């Protein structure tokens, strides 16, 4: 949801502003019906427009992955790493989200590929 519902400011593109306005009106219409559940996901809540946040009755927050989860996430993207290397990687990525870990792995892969070619 953060791709189109960022907090409004003077630098926001007019098309983005219009999309956000339409979304807010649509959500207001859903609330009257009460048979519609609106689910949105973000890992950047602080960037969302306050008007959007106020339209949700409840929020579920998921914390950052623990060490074992970080190792499992890294294993999906860095299949060549040994178990001990994955443990080291998971220790080095404390306080990082799964997407951060994925981005690091992809960046390392691009760096490696640029040296090979």
24: tokens are 């807010």
Q: How confident is the model at residue 33 (pLDDT cuts 50, 70, 90)?
A: low
Q: Band of the pLDDT at 4, cuts 50, 70, 90?
A: low
Global confidence as pTM:
0.61
Q: Residues 99-108: what's their mean pLDDT?
A: 94
DSSP state letter for 46: G
Phi first, then psi: what are they for 47, rounded to 5°?
-95, -10
pLDDT at 88: 97
Q: What is the DSSP letter of 23?
A: H
Within 8 A by CB and 6+ apart from 71, the residues are 86, 87, 89, 90
> Residue 43: which of 27, 56, 26, 59 has the closest Cα?
59
Residue 96 forms beta bridges with which residues?
Answer: none
Strand partners, 48: 6
Q: What does each C-alpha distance from 49 to 16, 20, 24, 43, 57 come to in angstroms? A: 12, 9, 10, 14, 15
């Amino acid at each position: 949801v953060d791709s189109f519902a960022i907090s409004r400011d003077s630098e926001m593109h007019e098309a983005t502003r219009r999309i956000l306005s339409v979304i807010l009106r649509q959500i207001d219409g859903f609330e009257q019906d009460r048979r519609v559940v609106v689910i949105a996901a973000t890992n950047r809540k602080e960037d969302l427009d306050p008007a959007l946040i106020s339209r949700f009755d409840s929020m579920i927050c998921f914390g950052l992955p623990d060490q074992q989860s970080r190792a499992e996430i890294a294993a999906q993207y860095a299949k060549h790493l040994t178990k001990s290397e994955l443990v080291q990687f998971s220790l080095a990525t404390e306080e990082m989200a799964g997407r951060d870990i994925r981005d690091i792995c992809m960046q390392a892969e691009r760096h490696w590929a640029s040296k090979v070619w």
